[in-house]
Amino acid sequence: MSVGLALLGLLEAGPRHGYDLKRSYDDRFGHGRALHYGQVYSTLARLLKNGLVEVESEPGDGPERKRYAITPAGVADVAGWLAQPEKPEPYLQSTLYTKVVLALLTGRDAADLLDVQRSEHLRLMRELTRRKSEGDLADQLICDHALFHLEADLRWLELTAARLGQLAAHVRS
């Protein structure tokens, strides 16, 4: 998963300081793998260089603090990323979960995102089923392994689609 795109998606809610972005990322997506501050700030520096965020300085006591705001180019990048289905593969849910949460947080259609992903999974399953029917025992076993993972992903997609209302209420609270 792209940390930069996740940070951009979080910035769509409004400008934030780097430490606020880190905390929000860790709360929503960290799940035992918190970001390092250095990664947050190096990612923000790259996003700034690429014109995807801009800096808003805050006057006040103490050292100057930077708030980062997403630019229209950054919004377009997030929208493109959310619309692009992920390559179906094992352990995909963490990236899919991130996309679903960010779609809900940014007012995009999470159900459509899940439908597009479902279509991509079904396409690959058809391809693997064809390969399995034409292959030797090794191909059959490899395809079965991949198909079982894809079936589990499809069950997760269906479950998530059924719980989108609950998830939306949870992530927006």
pLDDT digits (tens, 9 = 90+) for 52-99: 999 987 665 555 578 999 999 999 999 999 999 988 766 655 788 899
Task: Give me the pLDDT at residue 18, please.
Answer: 93
Where residue 165 falls among pLDDT bands split at 50, 70, 90?
A: very high
> Which residues on adjacent β-strands are paired with residue 58?
65
How far is CA 27 from each of CA 74, 101, 103, 134, 161, rounded to the nearest angstrom?
22, 12, 16, 46, 22
- Return phi, psi of residue 67, to 5°: -110, 135
pLDDT digits (tens, 9 = 90+) for 94-147: 788 899 999 999 999 999 999 999 999 999 999 999 999 998 888 899 899 899
Task: Give me the pLDDT at residue 92, please.
Answer: 56
Is the pLDDT confidence value at 36 over 80?
yes
Where residue 29 falls among pLDDT bands split at 50, 70, 90?
A: confident
Task: Give me the pLDDT at residue 28, please.
Answer: 83
Task: Give me the pLDDT at residue 77, please.
Answer: 96
Tell me the mean pLDDT in the region 5-22.
Answer: 94
Task: Give me the pLDDT at residue 144, please.
Answer: 94
Q: What share of the chain is helix, strand, coil (3-state, %, to 5)?
A: 70, 10, 25
Contact (Cβ atoms closer than 8 angstroms) between residue 109 and residue 103: yes
Task: Give me the pLDDT at residue 127, please.
Answer: 93
Query: What 8-state DSSP symbol labels residue 61?
Result: S
Q: How far apart are CA 162 and CA 149, in angstroms?
A: 20
